Homo-oligomer: A and B are copies of this chain.
């Protein structure tokens, strides 16, 4: 797959508000699925499917610990994605755009 096809495919992942919001939340720390469900207005399977897409493109890492699955950013080697996120709000700013509080750390 050529450079532009691959870039377009990755940028398409950022072109969805839910996924972009997730990536912004991940800027400062890892999040488990249930926390994302608590903060975003979307069902648990909805979150899982977004995370699968992000993972399949290598944009997030998955870490299973106990019954929780934590996701973290993996964009060190994707400069144009990293650059976009640099201009986006981090965890706190994103939560405030969502009119949400930090979720209770139920997990662990």
Contact = CB atoms under 8 A, between A and B. Distances in A.
Interface of A: 2-5, 7-9, 11-17, 19-21, 24, 79-80, 83-84, 86-89, 94, 97
A108 B8 CA distance: 32
A10 to B, nearest CB: 8
* Copies of this subunit: 2
Main SS at interface, chain A: helix
A29 to B, nearest CB: 18
- The 8 residue pairs across chains A and B that have the minimum distance between CB atoms: A12-B15, A83-B83, A80-B87, A15-B15, A8-B17, A11-B15, A11-B14, A8-B20
Nearest to A89: B3
A62 to B, nearest CB: 23
Contacts of A94: 4
